[in-house]
A and B are shown apart, each in its own frame.
Chain A
Amino acid sequence: MSHHHAVAPKPADDPAFTMPAMLSGLSLPLCVVGLIALVGGTFLGSSAVGGRFGMSAYLTAYMYAMTIAIGAMFFVLIQHLVRAGWSVVVRRVAELIMIMVVPLAVLFIPIGWAVWTGSLYVWTDAAGYQAEHHIPADAWAEKIRWLNPQWFTLRACVYLGVYCLIGCWYYSKSQRQDQTGEVTLTESMQARGGPAIILFALCTSLLAADWVMSLAPMWFSTMFGVYIFAGSILSAHCAIALLSFVLQKQGAMRDEVTIEHYHDLGKLIHGFVCFWAYIAFSQYMLIWYANIPEETVWFFTRYPGFSEDFGPISIALMVLHFGVPFLGIMSRHVRRTPWAVAAWATYILVLHFVDLYWAIMPEATVGSGGAMGVLASVLTVLGMVCLMLGLIVIVGARTRLIPVRDPRLAESLAFENI
Chain B
Amino acid sequence: MSTPKTPPKAVDDDNVVHGVVAEFTDVSSLLAACERVRDAGYTKADAFAPFPVHGIDKALGIKPTVLPWIALAAGGIGTCTALAMQIWMNGIDYQYIISGKPFISLPASIPVAFELTILFASFATFFGMWALNGLPRFSNPIFTSPRFDRATDDTFFLFLDAKDNRFDEAGAKSFLADLGGDFIEVVKEDDSPKSIPKFLLIGLALLISFSLIPALLVARMRVTKSTSPRIHIFPDMDFSPAKDMQQTSTLFADGRAMRPDVPGTVHRGEMIWDLDFQTGIELEKLAQTDAPRVRRLVAMVQSDVEVGGDEQAADAADAGEETSSEPAEEASSDGESDEDANPTALTPAAGPEVDTTPWLSENPLPLTDAVLRRGQTMFGVYCSTCHGMNGNGDGLVNRRAQRILATTWTPPSNLHDETLFEDAYPDGKLFSTISNGIRKMPGYRAQIGAEDRWAIVAYVRALQASQDATLEDVPEAQRATIEKEQTDVKAALEKAAAEAEAKAKESST
Contacts and interface: CB of A to CB of B under 8 A. Distances in A.
20 contacts: A1-B27, A1-B31, A1-B54, A1-B55, A2-B28, A2-B31, A2-B32, A3-B55, A281-B107, A284-B107, A285-B108, A285-B110, A288-B107, A289-B99, A289-B107, A289-B108, A291-B99, A291-B100, A332-B68, A418-B54
A226 B157 CA distance: 52
A1 B107 CA distance: 49
Interface string A387-418: 00000000000000000000000000000001
Contacts of B110: 281, 285
Contact of A1 (B28, B101, B108): B28
A291 B101 CA distance: 10
A3 B59 CA distance: 10
Cβ-closest 7 pairs across A and B: A285-B107, A288-B107, A1-B27, A1-B55, A2-B28, A1-B31, A1-B54
Interface string B56-68: 0010000000001
Contacts of A1: 27-28, 31, 53-55
Interface in B379-435: none
Interface string A228-241: 00000000000000
Contacts of A332: 68
Interface in B6-48: 27-28, 31-32
Contacts of B108: 285, 289
Interface string B67-108: 010001000000000000000000000000001110000011
Nearest to A416: B54
Interface residues of A, number: 12
Contacts of A288: 107
A291 B108 CA distance: 13
Contacts of B107: 281, 284-285, 288-289
Contacts of B58: 3
A4 to B, nearest CB: 8
Contacts of B68: 332
Contacts of B54: 1, 418
Nearest to B26: A1
A252 to B, nearest CB: 31
Nearest to A284: B107
Q: Chain B interface residue count: which class?
A: 10 to 19
Interface of B: 27-28, 31-32, 53-55, 58, 68, 72, 99-101, 107-108, 110
A285 B101 CA distance: 12
Given A1-B28, A281-B110, 12 more contacts: A2-B28, A2-B32, A3-B55, A281-B107, A284-B107, A285-B108, A285-B110, A289-B99, A289-B101, A291-B100, A332-B68, A418-B54
Contacts of B27: 1
Interface string A97-117: 000000000000000000000
Interface string A1-45: 111000000000000000000000000000000000000000000
A3 B32 CA distance: 10
A274 to B, nearest CB: 11
A330 B76 CA distance: 13
A418 B100 CA distance: 50
Nearest to B54: A1
A285 B110 CA distance: 10
Contacts of B55: 1, 3
Nearest to B101: A289
Contacts of A291: 99-100
Nearest to B53: A1
A281 B110 CA distance: 9
A285 B113 CA distance: 14
Nearest to B110: A281
B158 to A, nearest CB: 16
Interface in A248-278: none
A155 B436 CA distance: 73
A275 to B, nearest CB: 14
A289 B32 CA distance: 61
Interface in A115-140: none
Q: Interface centre among A1, A285, A418, by most B CB within 10 Å?
A: A1
Interface string A316-352: 0000000000000010100000000000000000000
A149 B58 CA distance: 65
Contacts of B72: 330
A103 to B, nearest CB: 41
A281 B108 CA distance: 11
A395 B101 CA distance: 55
Interface in A273-303: 281, 284-285, 288-289, 291
Contacts of A3: 55, 58
A303 to B, nearest CB: 13
Contacts of B101: 289
A284 B106 CA distance: 12
A281 B107 CA distance: 8
Contacts of A284: 107
Nearest to A3: B55
A178 B53 CA distance: 37
Nearest to A4: B55
Contacts of A281: 107, 110
A84 B108 CA distance: 39
A208 B493 CA distance: 71
Contacts of A418: 54
B62 to A, nearest CB: 15
Contacts of B32: 2
A330 B117 CA distance: 15
A291 B55 CA distance: 55
B35 to A, nearest CB: 9
Contacts of B28: 1-2
A199 B430 CA distance: 77
Contacts of A285: 107-108, 110
B50 to A, nearest CB: 15
A284 B100 CA distance: 17
A264 to B, nearest CB: 17
Contacts of B99: 289, 291
A11 B108 CA distance: 58
Contacts of A2: 28, 31-32
A26 to B, nearest CB: 42
Contacts of B31: 1-2
A13 to B, nearest CB: 35
Nearest to B52: A418
A157 B99 CA distance: 45
Nearest to B100: A291
A284 B108 CA distance: 11
A285 B107 CA distance: 6
A204 B54 CA distance: 41
A316 to B, nearest CB: 16
A180 to B, nearest CB: 35
A418 to B, nearest CB: 8
A361 to B, nearest CB: 24
Contacts of A289: 99, 101, 107-108
Nearest to B72: A330
A318 B479 CA distance: 48
Nearest to B31: A1
B117 to A, nearest CB: 12
A288 B99 CA distance: 11
Contacts of B53: 1
A306 B100 CA distance: 19
A3 B38 CA distance: 15
A119 B112 CA distance: 45
Interface in A352-399: none
A289 B108 CA distance: 8
A379 to B, nearest CB: 35
A112 B32 CA distance: 67
Contacts of A330: 72
A266 to B, nearest CB: 15
